[in-house]
Amino acid sequence: MSLPPEKASELKRIIHNHLLKMDIHGKIREVLAETVRDDQGPARRSLCEADFLCALQRRGIIDDVMKDLHFTQVEAPTDTETGSPQKPATYIADKDITQLKKTNIDPSRRYLYLQVLGGKAFLEHLQEPEPLPGQVCSTFTLYLHFRNQRFRSKPVPCACEPDLKEGFLLEIHRDGIGEANKMADATTMLSICDPVHLVLIKTDTYSETVLVSSYFLDWRAVLSSPSGKTCFAVELLGVGSECKVPAGVLTVSLELYPPLIETLSNDVVGTQQSLERQRTAEKERLFLVYAKQWWREFLEIRTSHQSKMVKIFAQDENGLNRPVCSYVRVLRAGRLLESPRQAARFVSLLAHEKAPVVGGGGGGKQEQWCTLMAFLCRGKGDCEDHATLLCSLLLGFGLDAYVCVGTKAKGVPHTWVLTRGTDGSITFWESLTAHRYLHQTVDPDAPPLAPQPKLSYPYRTLGCVFNHHTFLANCQPSDAVELCIFDFQNQSRWKAMSEEALKSVCAPGSTTSLPPLPPLCAPSLDPAAASNQLELEMRYLVSEHRKDLELATVWDDHLSYLLSSALSAYELERCTGVSCGNEEFQDAVRRAVPDGHTFKGFPIHFLHRNARRAFATCLRSPFCEEIVCCRGDHVRLAVRVRVFVYPENACAVWLMFACKYRSVL
Answer for the pair 404, 320: CB distance below 8 angstroms, yes or no.
no
**What distance in Å separates the CA atoms of residue 619 and residue 614, rounded to the nearest whole number?**
9
Answer for the pair 206, 232: CB distance below 8 angstroms, yes or no.
no
Model confidence at 178, in pLDDT bands (50, 70, 90)? very low
Q: How many residues does the chain have?
A: 665
Provide the β-strand partners of residue 381.
352
Q: Which residues contact 592 (CB under 8 A, 6 or more apart)?
A: 558, 559, 562, 660
For residue 126, what are the CA distances in angstroms to 158, 243, 283, 507, 512?
A: 10, 20, 43, 43, 36
Task: State the span(s) of the chain assigned CATH 2.60.40.150.
Answer: 110-264
Q: Which residues contact 32 (CB under 8 A, 6 or more apart)?
A: 52
Q: Specify the pTM.
A: 0.81
Give one word for 247, left, alpha or beta, with left for phi > 0 and alpha for psi -120 to 50.
alpha
**What distance in Å separates the CA atoms of residue 346 and residue 432, rounded to the nearest whole number?**
10
Q: Is the pLDDT of residue 229 over 80?
A: yes
Q: Which residues contact 432 (CB under 8 A, 6 or more apart)?
A: 348, 352, 383, 386
- Which amino acid type is present at position 216? F
Answer for the pair 189, 220: CB distance below 8 angstroms, yes or no.
yes
Best CA proximity match to 201, nearest among 160, 245, 154: 154
Q: Is the pLDDT of residue 22 over 80?
A: no
Model confidence at 311, in pLDDT bands (50, 70, 90)? very high
In the three-class reduction of DSSP (H, G, I as helix; E, B as strand; rest coil), residue 186 is classed as: helix
Answer for the pair 292, 298: CB distance below 8 angstroms, yes or no.
no
**What distance in Å separates the CA atoms of residue 204 and residue 207, rounded to the nearest whole number?**
5
Across 102-127, average pLDDT? 85
Q: Which helix (H) or strand (E) holds 115?
A: strand 111-120
**What distance in Å separates the CA atoms of residue 85 and residue 87, rounded to the nearest whole number?**
7
Q: 110-264: what fold? A: Immunoglobulin-like (2.60.40)
Q: Is the pLDDT of residue 78 over 50?
A: no
**What distance in Å separates the CA atoms of residue 602 and residue 563, rounded to the nearest whole number?**
10
Long-range contacts of 415-423 (CB under 8 A, 24+ apart): 415/383, 415/384, 415/387, 415/388, 416/383, 416/387, 416/459, 417/387, 417/390, 417/391, 418/465, 418/486, 419/394, 420/486, 420/488
Answer for the pair 657, 628: CB distance below 8 angstroms, yes or no.
yes
How many other C-beta atoms lie within 10 A of the C-beta of residue 10?
13
- As a whole-number percent, the residues of the chain with pLDDT over 70 amount to 82
Model confidence at 622, in pLDDT bands (50, 70, 90)? very high
- As a whole-number percent, the residues of the chain with pLDDT over 90 amount to 62
Q: Is the pLDDT of residue 37 over 70?
A: no
Q: Is the pLDDT of residue 297 over 90?
A: yes
Model confidence at 11, in pLDDT bands (50, 70, 90)? low
For residue 587, what are the CA distances in angstroms to 117, 368, 382, 578?
A: 61, 50, 42, 20
| Triad 452, 454, 460: Cα angle to 5° | 105
**What distance in Å separates the CA atoms of residue 189 and residue 369, rounded to the nearest whole number?**
31
In the three-class reduction of DSSP (H, G, I as helix; E, B as strand; rest coil), residue 246 is classed as: strand
Q: 527-662: what fold? A: Pathogenesis-related Protein p14a (3.40.33)
Checking DSSP bridges between strand 351-352 and strand 380-381, what pairing results, if any? Answer: parallel
Task: State the span(s) of the chain assigned CATH 3.40.33.10.
Answer: 527-662
For residue 92, what are the CA distances in angstroms to 11, 12, 105, 511?
A: 8, 11, 17, 44
Answer for the pair 111, 172: CB distance below 8 angstroms, yes or no.
yes
pLDDT at 85: 40
Q: Is the pLDDT of residue 241 over 50?
A: yes
Q: What is the DSSP letter of 464?
A: E
Long-range contacts of 622-629 (CB under 8 A, 24+ apart): 624/657, 626/600, 627/600, 627/601, 627/602, 627/657, 627/658, 627/659, 628/542, 628/545, 628/546, 628/657, 629/545, 629/546, 629/549, 629/551
Q: What is the pLDDT of residues 371-398, one digit of tens each?
A: 999 999 999 999 999 999 999 999 999 9
Omega of the bond prior to 258 within 30 degrees of 0, cis?
A: yes
Q: Is the pLDDT of residue 294 over 50?
A: yes
pLDDT at 355: 74
**What distance in Å separates the CA atoms of residue 195 and residue 172, rounded to the nearest whole number?**
11
Give the helix ranges, DSSP H, for 310-460: 340-349, 372-378, 383-396
Best CA proximity match to 340, nearest among 397, 391, 290, 392: 397
Q: Is the pLDDT of residue 490 over 80?
A: yes
Q: What is the pLDDT of residues 251-274, one digit of tens each?
A: 999 999 888 888 899 999 999 999
- Taking the domain 284-353+367-506, which CATH number applies? 3.10.620
**What distance in Å separates the CA atoms of residue 16 and residue 21, rounded to the nearest whole number?**
9
Checking DSSP bridges between strand 69-73 and strand 90-94, what pairing results, if any? Answer: antiparallel
- Between 452 and 296, the more confident residue is 296
Q: What is the pLDDT of residues 569-579, one digit of tens each?
A: 999 999 888 88
Task: State the span(s) of the chain assigned CATH 3.10.620.
Answer: 284-353+367-506
Q: Which residues contact 108 (CB under 8 A, 6 or more apart)?
A: 180, 181, 182, 183
**What average pLDDT does the structure give for the chain?**
85
